[in-house]
Amino acid sequence: MGRSAKGYGKAHCLLTPEATEALFRAQDFAKDEGMALLIYDCYRPQRAVDDFVNWVNSHEEEPTKAIYYPHIPRAELIQQGYIAERSGHSRGSTVDLTLVSTETGEALDMGTPWDFFDLTSWGESDALSVQQRANRALLRALMTKHGFMPLREEWWHFTLENEPYPDTYFNFLVR
């Protein structure tokens, strides 16, 4: 989009208490393995999701196309499943994240950046090196061990399996 989505006043990670507790357990386990979790996105107000949908259907400039969706026309992002009219993030138990080495401070190479809309972002894409596949498998194993389910189309996206609000899409502002 090239701008902040509606509904975000500050860059805060908000999650349900249940998701927060599970994420802390995952972080503790990662720390014991010489890694840390780097969180990209958590709760997302429904108004932000609506903003994404409106952006897909707009004629705004596309300053981020080369970075986030170089192989897909913006008008097809919803049709191809990369942007939805309802997001698990709005239920408060979904998180986008990666792993970072605590020794180097560098994120593990996952083969694509976060929020890259392409088949190479699928969790088990074949278009990756052996190391990139291993890094994704490590993240997936860590998160599933601590109660999160992966989204197959996005290696970074995990939802708490027993989320407390599976049918509620919140719309309060992030302040």
Q: Which residues are catalytic?
A: 154
Nearest in space to 25 (alpha carbons), one of 136, 145, 105: 145
> What is the Cα–Cα distance from 16 to 146, expressed in whole angstroms?
15
> What is the Cα–Cα distance from 147 to 4, expressed in whole angstroms?
30
Bridge partner list, 99: 37
CA-angle at 72, arms to 68 and 76, nearest 5°: 110
The helix/strand count (H/E) of the chain reads as 4, 4
- Give the H or E element holding residue 28: helix 17-32
Residue 30 three-state SS: helix
